[in-house]
Amino acid sequence: MKKLLLCTVFAVLPAVAFAAPPMDPARLAKDVQTLSSDAFEGRGPATAGEVKTVEYISAQMKAAGLEPGGDLKDGKRAWTQDVPLAKSDIVGTPSLSLTIGGLAKPLRQGEDVAIRANMRGESRVSVKDAPVVFVGYGVTAPEKNWDDFKGMDLKGKIALVLVNDPDFETGQGDFGGKAMTYYGRWTYKYEEAARQGAVGFIVIHETAPASYGWATVKNSNTNTMFDVVRKNPGEAHAPVEGWIQRDLTVDLFKQAGLDFEALKKQAQTRDFKPVVLNGVTFSADYDVKQETIISKNVVGKLTGKTRPDETVIYSGHWDHLGVGLPDAKGDTIYNGAIDNATGIAALIELGRAYAKAPRTARSVVFMAVTAEEKGLLGSEYYASNPLYPLAKTAGVINMDSISPQGPAKDFTISGSAEFGLLNDLIAEGVKHNRTFIRDPNQQSGGFYRSDHFPFAKRGVPALSFGSGRDMVEGGREASKAWGETYGRERYHQQADEFEASWPFTGMVADLSLLYDTGRALADSDRWPEWADGQEFKAARDASKSERK
């Protein structure tokens, strides 16, 4: 791993002419409390909750003094960018079952399995006695001489696949050890299912390699599904996509005369070959309601005074899971206070701060994107249809699930990429007496799970900020306890609700750091670059002639 050249960073960073205006924890608390209230119905795209959310963010941006920065309509910018999405819902309760040795075993949606609504545009899914095949980690990586399929014809078959990379268990190998690559993401697994022609891929849930429990899987996959509108959706999706409980899978293997743990160990090697579960078949029958809807990215802007065609972007997703299956208390609203009402409150507060200060040289854009929870769809749409050229976007700072607790001595980002924008952030962190730490949870694949990623993969320097892990009060122990409790009891669950006891003082410190970092870039003529060897450098270099 290359070391960051911080001495170089200090030499090129200009002094910040204007310190961050004071951030107000009371305003942050009010915005989070409002956006995560039951009145906003969990902020699901294509719901009444979206309408309220978009209206609220637009109104707050306007009150802050921002300009509309969205779609051009009749020569004027709107507050929003239209994002067309394919919307899919399973009608009623799906009929799902396994047949083992001639005996049918019904599968309970949300309890045994979590089957997603078909996203191929098909109005009915009907699978009868499809053979089941274990395909290890489901990876095809020619550059690593790795092929988990070995010529197995998956047409007409259901594949069971492990989550994460082959290296996760051992921490060493061709896939970066504990740090997840894109091959480990469930999104990749489903894409590969379509390429292989399978009837479906069902991911075997295990808490450690997935980095979340079954409640998160259930709540994220049994409700409305969205996707970008595709010309040929069958190229990206198999008819059946979903998850299955680990214990059920272990028992299934046992009844088929197989040892799950032994086969899992084999799957960690490039010699693994697919294994058919003899006597096991899968059946499914359900209708799917398919629609095309228009969701909204909300976009505010402050036009730069000398280089208005160059842009610095702050982003965060406004959506959460909406209304879904009830918890043990009967609560059906997924309020999403931390995830990501905090990020939107942060975005609005940064807009207020910039609007109060003298204008920057470059334009600064504040973007609240839709459908992150459905696969980064709002940011993916923007990156495919940018309102402001990506070649002249100097950097993107994304905010997702910012801590509402007290301040920390450190901070982090999702993933382990090396690039100039991170160097800028680290250098500003030193001025704020805060230390950068590497993402301590790289095995979760966070780099591929936040809205900076669609920008990064197109070459734009982009990061997703993470609050610190060493609290000023309570240290690492307090931070760890908070994080573990949130992940276990709140993340993607109805319990992610606002608490009046949250001080928001840590967010104030975070936003002051992010303001100074973005302001320094927006007042400069620098173009941060990716380090040599980084996977996104070539894409950025390809647009170099468009920057001056």
Average pLDDT, the chain: 93
Residues 412-423: what's their mean pLDDT? 90
445 pLDDT band (50/70/90 cuts)?
confident
Residues 423-446: what's their mean pLDDT? 88
Check: CB of residue 517 under 8 Å from CB of residue 41. Answer: no
Euclidean distance between CA atoms 153 and 168, whole angstroms? 27
Q: What is the pLDDT of residue 13?
A: 39
Q: What is the pLDDT of residue 218?
A: 94
Q: What is the pLDDT of residue 439?
A: 82
Strands 333-334 and 435-436: unpaired
Q: What is the pLDDT of residue 292?
A: 95
Q: What is the pLDDT of residue 50?
A: 98
In this structure, what are the phi and psi dihedrals at residue 248, rounded to the nearest 5 degrees? -65, -40
Q: What is the pLDDT of residue 34?
A: 98
**CA nearest to 363, candidates 8, 83, 77:** 77
Mapped onto helix, strand or coil, the DSSP state of residue 23 is coil
Q: What is the pLDDT of residue 443?
A: 66
Mapped onto helix, strand or coil, the DSSP state of residue 170 is coil
State the CB neighbour count (10 A cutoff) for residue 92.
Answer: 8
Q: Give the CA angle between residues 254, 255, 260 to the nearest 5°.
A: 25
Check: CB of residue 38 under 8 Å from CB of residue 44. Answer: no
Check: CB of residue 291 under 8 Å from CB of residue 87. Answer: yes
Query: Alpha carbon of 202 to those of 99, 159, 254: distances in Å?
Result: 16, 6, 18
Euclidean distance between CA atoms 12 and 447, whole angstroms? 27
Q: What is the 3-state secondary structure (H, E, C) of 396-408?
A: EEEECCCCCCCCE
Residues 381-385: what's their mean pLDDT? 95
Q: What is the 3-state secondary structure (H, E, C) of 455-492?
A: HHCCCCCEEEEEECCCECCCHHHHHHHHHHHHHHHCCC
pLDDT tens readout for residues 46-81: 999 999 999 999 999 999 999 999 999 999 999 999
In this structure, what are the phi and psi dihedrals at residue 410, rounded to the nearest 5 degrees? -135, -175
pLDDT at 10 over 50: no
Check: CB of residue 346 under 8 Å from CB of residue 28. Answer: yes
pTM of the model: 0.83
Q: What is the pLDDT of residue 16?
A: 42
Q: What is the pLDDT of residue 6?
A: 29
pLDDT tens readout for residues 126-146: 999 999 999 999 999 998 999
pLDDT at 418 over 90: no
Residues 403-423: what's their mean pLDDT? 92
450's CB contacts (< 8 A; 6+ apart) are 372, 376, 398, 400, 414, 464
Residues 170-195: what's their mean pLDDT? 89
18 pLDDT band (50/70/90 cuts)?
low
Strands 67-68 and 393-399: unpaired
Euclidean distance between CA atoms 248 and 239, whole angstroms? 22
Which one of 144-153, 177-186, 322-331, 478-487 scores highest in mean pLDDT?
Answer: 144-153
Continuous segment of H or E residues that includes residue 373: none
Residues 118-125: what's their mean pLDDT? 96
pLDDT at 155 over 90: yes
pLDDT tens readout for residues 254-268: 999 999 999 999 999
Residues present in the chain in total: 548
User: Which of 9-18, 238-247, 417-426 is least confident?
Assistant: 9-18
Please give the DSSP secondary-structure letter assigned to residue 275. E
Q: What is the pLDDT of residue 454?
A: 94
Q: What is the pLDDT of residue 177?
A: 82
pLDDT at 441 over 80: no
